[in-house]
Amino acid sequence: MLSAGHGSPLLYSILHLTGYDISMEDLKNYRQLGSKAHGHPEVGTAGIEATTGPLGQGFAMAVGMAMAEAHMGAVYNREGYPVIDHNTYVICGDGDLMEGISYEAASLAGHLGLGKLIVLYDSNDVCLDGELRHSFTEDIGKRFEAQGWHYLRVDDGNDITSIGEVINLAKQESLRPSLIEIKTVIGYGSPNKGGTNAAHGAPLGKKEALLAKKNYGWNYEPFDIPEEVVNHFQASREIGEQREAEWNKLFASYKEAYPELAKQLEATILGELPDGWDADLPEYKPGDPDIATREASGAALNAIAKNLPTLFGGSADLAASNKTKLNGIDRFNKENCAGRNVWFGIREHAMGAIVNGLSLHGGIRPFGATFFVFSDYLRPTFRLAAMMKQPVLYVFTHDSIAVGEDGPTHQPVEHLASLRAIPGLTVIRPADACETIEAYRYAMENKEGPTALILSRQILPLLTFKKAKEGLSKGGYILSDPPHGEKLQVLMIATGSEVSLAMEAQKVLAEKEIPSRVVSMPSWEIFEKQPESYQEYVLPSEIKTRVSIEMGSPMGWARYAGKQSKVIGVCTYGDSGPGYRIVEENGYNVNNIVSFIEKKLG
């Protein structure tokens, strides 16, 4: 894992030399359009494990990978058959260790005793703006030891023998992750820029590059690879091929000895859902008690966990509120890595990156949960999950100003709009328990990227029933039309708890002989994937009188409501008080909706 992703030229060069699909032309066109050698490493190029660059993200994703290795080893390995048995390595720099996410992730890694995680810290005492001492003077060794890590140091980054010896020492430590601080000189060999921030990000320049090569005794033209280098890396490839052949032989024997486990492992690595994974998902029918969508979410998670042994995750110290505890399943810890309930602690940012790492490793279907307002802490990890097309699941509860007494600090306002702005992230805000179950079905079958479920704390009436099954998979659908086929005059489009409000408004409008349609639109992203003909069917363009109803920022709703219609949203922060009072004060009531429609229709 190259967490210090700005060092990508080294990674691309090694991948090229070891036979991965990065050509000499890609290297020559580094950071140019059409080249696979992007400015930072990105998943999709062979040999790259994770998309890195934003500092600290790779470090935290590696913690997720190490957790996946520990868990899968505990689940699948049998005596004499260590089919899951590898180290996770990270190359990081000062910048990674300054980022807050690295503190969070290192704290959890030490707590969990992830002994197969080895971090090589390129410690060169220089950052982009100049000498590191002006901003970062902590004792890294003491910090990591305090977090439960094994700390080692190499004083000369050019002493390859010592580095190898220390890595072997780290591999022998099974109870603690290891940090190896390796003292290096940035721009080593450059007589004028070496050891300074001038060598940090910009090219040395032709003259300085020639002087550095002279110092190295390197007498070759650019991109001219000596035969001895080719031979060295060919030998490395052959060693890798031999080890892969040995593992394949081991796995063949494992398949004979443990056929069911082997079959399960192969399927999980491919990300396949087993037959019957959704067999126990609850079905709600008229007459069932109304419940909050967070409660329905908890029921769905536990139903899936029964039949999907790869479901693995937890909450940032809010499992009781998020309803994300997997009942009857052990906690993942250093004493029992086979457990599937993860206590992430109050480490939201690290949690987001860790679930990315779990997913990238393969064999795990991860989820992470917290209050919706705290999704801000995970934002950089959303972007990377979407870029990498990782099918991770986020469970966000306490979805609106209806949270009430906790006040504006805990009441999401701008969060729906900001999540919808992230390309590749599917956001689903279900109207009731029925839509929540279907949201899980969609999320688990979505292999194209991450999914965020936005769920209520308050109880919501059951509304959608069988319509949810097909409707949610289309992102938006007709929930209720005029009962006698009257010609439509009004469209009301709503999400989440506000769908029930629209249904109440429809009744009042019917009494006033104003025929209206209620559209539940739990996911813009899914709706936008539907054919234009379906979108027109649900939201006929001839109907100009429209109202969108959502307890969040109105940003973006004009695309569905139209500029001449009413967008009922929240344009300020909430308040502290009973949730129903705050909702009412912000205009979420039947009278407000009906009044606008009557005025609009004249």
Whole-angstrom distance, CA of residue 477 vs CA of residue 537: 9
Buried b (16+ CB within 10 A) or exposed e, 339-365: bbbbbbbebbbbbbbbbbbbbbbebbb
Burial of 245 (0-12, 13-18, 19+ CB in 10 A): exposed
CB 115 within 8 A of CB 172: no
Q: What's the full length of the chain, in residues?
A: 602
Question: Distance between CA atoms of 468 and 474, rounded to whole angstroms?
Answer: 10
CA 33 to centroid of chain Cα atoms: 27
Strand order across the 477-480 sheet: 477-480, 516-520, 490-494, 546-549, 566-568
Hey, is 520 helix, strand or coil?
strand
Rg of the Cα trace of the chain? Answer: 28
* CA dist., res. 63 & res. 334, Å (int): 14
Active site residue 238: no
**Cβ partners under 8 Å of residue 166, min gap 6:** 152, 153, 154, 180
Instruction: Out of 49, 181, 295, 348, pick the active-site residue.
Output: 348
Cβ burial 112-124 (10 Å sphere, 16+ → b, else e):
bbbbbbbbbbbbb
DSSP 120: E
Residue 511: Cβ-neighbour burial (10 angstroms; 0-12, 13-18, 19+): exposed
Q: How far apart are CA 456 and CA 413, in angstroms?
A: 14
- Nearest 10 degrees: CA dihedral of 302, 308, 309, 313? -50
Q: Which residues are catalytic?
A: 348
